[in-house]
Amino acid sequence: MSRTAEAVGLSQPATSAALARLRLLFDDALFVRTGAQMEPTPRALALAPAVRRVVETIANEVLQPAAFMPADADRSFTILTPDIGEVAFLPGVLRRLRMEAPNIRLQAVAKPRTAAAEALESGEADLAVGFFPDLQKAGFYQQGLFKTSYACIACADNAAIGAKLTVKQYRRRGTSWCGPTAASTCWTACWRTRAGSGM
């Protein structure tokens, strides 16, 4: 009974009370205990196809959110992305929005990677675009956008390097580092669905 209660989103006492009302309505036990399990009665098995059709109709026709129509939408979305994302990603999105969703407004926000999950969960941000390894957990949907790697930049007339920087020279030279701590970055779009968000 406890697993059934969890599946339908009710407490165990509420589920027991609902089953009691159904037993009274159908004048049948509906489910009987056999050992450690509850088994459906012949009456419950006969009702199952009709109940399944009703549940599917409600799920597919009644509880479906309204379709998101970009051309008619008039709202703002907040995108969590680092400044490089504003340069590499947003211009193309804004061009597409002008053509297909002219009344959609975007706000780009930069936050530490560790704050991305909280921003999405609280609704402060609708979408995170960038390198967010902390979002690789349940409840967040992700889609890879592209992968990039890092390059070394050196003065062209640096005699100690020559025409090409080797791994050995790189390890021997003092370097400065700017950016995330991974050797390559997979840019990912992450979001958490919320009722009425249109996403």
What dotted CATH number matches 2-62?
A: 1.10.10.10
Contact 156, 104 (CB under 8 A): no
Instruction: Classify domain 76-191 at the CATH class level.
Output: alpha beta
| Distance (Å) of CA 65 to CA 140, 145, 161 | 19, 27, 60
Map out the domains of the chain as residue ranges: 2-62, 76-191
Q: Can 2-62 and 76-191 be said to share one CATH topology?
A: no
Q: What is the pLDDT along the chain (199 residues), one digit of tens a residue?
A: 677 767 777 788 888 888 899 999 999 999 998 888 889 999 999 999 999 999 888 888 888 777 788 898 898 999 998 887 788 888 888 999 999 999 999 999 888 888 888 888 888 999 988 888 778 776 788 888 777 776 777 777 777 777 777 888 777 776 666 555 444 445 555 565 444 444 4
3-state secondary structure at position 108: strand
User: Nearest 10 degrees: CA dihedral of 92, 94, 98, 104?
Assistant: 140
